[in-house]
Amino acid sequence: MKKRIYRSMLLLIILSILSTAFLITGFIYGEFYARMKQEVRNEAHFVSVGFNLNGEKIFSELADQNFSSRITWIASDGTVLFDSSADPGSMENHLDRPEISDALNNGSGEAVHLSRTFGTQTFYHAIRLQDGTVVRVSARVNSVFKSVLNFIPYITVISVLVIILTMIIANLLTKKIIVPLNNLNLEDPLSNDVYDELSPLLSRMAKQNEQIELQFQKLREKQEEFNAITENVDEGIIILNSKGQILSINRKAAFIFGTELKDNINKHILQLNRSIPLQNAVEAAMKGETYEDTFVKGDNTFNILASPVKGQKPAEGIILFILDITERQTAEKLRREFSANVSHELKTPLTSISGYAELMMNGLVKHEDISVFSERIYNETRHLIRLVDDIIQISKLDEKNINFEFEKVDLFEVVKETAEKLTLQALQKGIDFSVKGQKAVISGVRQILQEIVFNLCDNAIKYNYEKGIVEVIVRKSDENVILTVKDNGPGIPKEHQSRIFERFYRVDKSHSRDTGGTGLGLSIVKHGVEFHKGKINLSSEPGKGTTVEVVFKDIQTTDKLDT
């Protein structure tokens, strides 16, 4: 501002000085020009008076004089009789000259035109003499310019001195104007008392400061609301500008990319991750297109949705939504595997039943073997029914589609009831099957608890040695109720222990088929325990047996939590 004021003042003054010098020069030129014309008229008058008194003798006298003006004597027919500056014989007829014509007709005449003799602009004044001839006096205009040019150096020196003085004064005045302005208190504009002319501006600034403060307050509130929302969602949210630089990133997105919140503001998004799907998403959104894709980072799979702001081309900004779909993809994979396994498990008994029935239908079975084939069909049918029942049960647990309500259940009582159903199966293999424990009430669904206990005990008996030992214990520990099913069977190798709760997973598939297992028992156990918010602990060593512990919350603890 200081430079602008200084330049403006200096420019205005310089223009004023130059304009004044130009006007003065013009005035001087006009004055000299007017004097020159008057002098020409006077000389012409003096020559005409002298001619009228002395006749043409005056021209011979004038020929020896050195005049600044040019004197010409012209006959009434335009012939040049005398010229003080040129040979009359070489000059053309002057009858058509306007000043000559005016003098012959009116007694005198004036004209300004280009002299063909000297090639310069010349002022002419002609007077008709008593004998009818014309005397003409002329002066060149360039003589006026020469007179004016003599003043130019003085005018220039004066102008330069005035300009220098003006620069000094302009600098001082500028400082005097600017210093109070630079010291204005803009935080409290009304406290300033500098120039009266600034009062309306300062009052307006004070009102604008109040409005700006209110707007900032609203923006801060909105920013806090936005942060509160984005920080508490499970999806990663990143907001970019039109150049792909990060304007905002929530905690979830920072966690996904393994970075800090504050370290990434104004950085380009590709500094977080350079995966091709992310690059394609940003490029598409910058063109105003919505883009969706997946990318893998570590062991997790993420879905990325890029949406342009206002849908303009190019977009003014981009919003990236990043969702962790690892669990969903894992569930989809399990469903596909489950469908494939179900198809396989159902196909096997159905194929057997179809084959046995076809043999019997075609009469290829001896009469005495019909009972054997019927028994096989019956066994396969029972296996198929158990498989379908297990599939239905695990599907219900998967979808949480259980219509039973939680109630107080004595787990020890459920164990005793279930053990009675398996006593005959244990006796057939010579298994020492025992139940120990105490009353332990938990909150649960009796039917599902029975399934858990039955499948654990059934597995311990089925996959045990002949004359083995199976021990079931119910006990309390601190705030928990623990169900333990222990056997001294062949055990489970370590490489299989992490997968035995998967659907249709079998350690020994041939042996499992012989025992009539569906491969879903332990999966039902896992889902049932998760349904009751319990947990399973497995301990097994090949050749030394297996111990499975299921931990439930005690009913007293559950009541406390509900309270």
Tell me which of 2.160.10.10, 1.20.1080.10, 1.10.287.130, 3.40.50.1580 is the CATH number of domain 330-399. Answer: 1.10.287.130
Q: What is the pLDDT of residue 436?
A: 92
Assign 130 to helix, strand or coil.
Answer: coil
- Residue listed under structure tokens 């009541």: 559
Paired sense of beta strands 441-444 and 407-410, if any: antiparallel
Instruction: Give CA–CA dist 242/490, Å, rounded.
Output: 65
Q: What is the pLDDT of residue 512?
A: 46
Q: What is the pLDDT of residue 472?
A: 93
Tell me which of 2.102.10.10, 3.30.450.20, 3.65.10.10, 3.40.50.150 is the CATH number of domain 233-324. Answer: 3.30.450.20
Q: How far is CA 13 from CA 7, 113, 166, 527, in A?
A: 10, 39, 7, 95
546: Cα separation from own chain's centroid: 59
**Exposure string (b/e) for 451-486, b if CB count within 10 Å is 16 or more?**
bbbbbbbbbbbbbbeeebbbbbbbebeeebbbbbbb
Paired sense of beta strands 432-437 and 469-477, if any: parallel
Instruction: Give CA–CA dist 528/522, Å, rounded.
Output: 10
Instruction: Give CA–CA dist 10/144, Å, rounded.
Output: 33
* CA nearest to 282, candidates 316, 240, 231: 240
Q: How far is CA 20 from CA 31, 100, 155, in A?
A: 16, 40, 10
Q: The sheet that has 108-114: what strands, in order across it?
A: 80-83, 70-74, 134-140, 121-128, 108-114
Any idea which architecture 2-149 has in CATH?
2-Layer Sandwich (3.30)
563 residues of the chain, pLDDT tens digit each: 556 666 777 777 778 777 877 787 777 777 777 887 888 888 888 888 888 887 777 777 776 666 667 888 888 888 888 888 788 888 888 888 888 888 888 888 888 876 555 556 788 899 988 888 898 888 876 655 555 566 677 777 877 887 788 778 777 777 776 766 666 666 666 666 666 666 777 778 778 878 888 888 888 888 777 777 666 677 888 888 888 888 888 888 887 887 776 777 888 888 877 888 888 888 888 888 888 888 888 778 888 888 887 755 667 788 888 888 777 777 677 666 656 666 656 676 777 788 878 778 887 777 777 888 787 787 778 767 766 776 666 666 665 555 667 889 999 999 998 888 888 889 989 999 999 999 999 988 888 888 888 889 988 898 888 989 999 999 998 788 999 999 998 888 888 777 777 766 666 554 444 454 556 677 778 888 888 888 989 888 888 899 999 999 876 544 443 43
Instruction: Give CA–CA dist 480/410, Å, rounded.
Output: 13
pTM value is: 0.41
Q: What is the pLDDT of residue 558?
A: 47
Instruction: Give CA–CA dist 439/412, Å, rounded.
Output: 5
Greatest alpha-carbon span in the chain: 185
Fold match, 2-149 / 233-324: yes
Q: What is the pLDDT of residue 485?
A: 93
Tell me which of 3.40.50.620, 3.40.50.2000, 3.30.565.10, 1.20.120.1200 is the CATH number of domain 407-562. Answer: 3.30.565.10
Q: What is the pLDDT of residue 473?
A: 93
306 class by beta-carbon count within 10 Å (0-12 exposed, 13-18 middle, 19+ buried): buried
**Domain-wise residue ranges, the chain:** 2-149, 185-228, 233-324, 330-399, 407-562
